[in-house]
Amino acid sequence: MLRRAVFLDKDGTVVVNVPYNVDPDQIRLAFGAVAGLTALHEAGFELVIVSNQSGVARGLFTEEALAAVERRLRDLLADEGLPLAGFYYCPHHPQGSVGRYAVVCDCRKPAPGMLLRAARELDLVLASSWMIGDLLDDVEAGHRAGCPAVLIDNGYEKEWRLTPQRQPDYKAADLAEAARQIL
C-alpha cells in the first residue's frame, strides 16, 4: 500500500512560533492548522513533524524537555481527531554550547535526515509526500529528500537565499491554503 506523508515543520507552521519554547502551556495550534491538517489527513496523508530544536545544543533546554512538547502537540491534534504518525527533531547546532550536540549532522534542516529517517521507519514513499514549513531550509530539506515543498510565507524567512533546491513549489499564507494547493 502506498503510504504518503506531509512532513511538517513545527514552530511557525503547525504551532504559533514561540522561540525556544518547551512549556506545553504556551503551545497553540497556528491559524489554519486544523483545517489544513484535517484536509490532508482525510486525503490519506500521514502527518509527520520534523523540527530543528537547536535550543538543546545551545543549552537553553534539555532534550528530555521535548517529550512534553510532543505530548502536548499530540494531545492538541488528537482533540481535533488528527493522529500524528511521527515526531522527529534535531537537537544539534554546529555553534552550540553543549558539546555532544554541537556538531554538523545529517538531520538538521536543510539536510534531509529527519525526512529520510521517518520514511524508513514509517514506510513512506517520499516521491508521493510533501514538505511544508515556514523557512527555505524546510523547502530545501523536502527537495533533498525527493519531496515537493510548500513555504508558509508568514514573515519568518529573513534570508531569501533562493537556489533551485530552495525554490518552493508553492507558497501559502497558512496550512489551510497549503493543503488546498497540495490537494
Q: Which of 11, 137, 138, 174 is catalytic?
A: 11
In the structure grid, which three cell numbers stand for residue 87, read together?
A: 515526531
Q: For the chain, how far is it from start to end, CA to CA, in angstroms? A: 20
59 C-beta neighbours (distance < 10 Å), count:
12
Note if 169 is an active site residue: no
Residue 144 has φ and ψ, to the nearest 5°, of -65, -25
11 is catalytic: yes
Give the residue numbers marked as catalytic. Answer: 9, 11
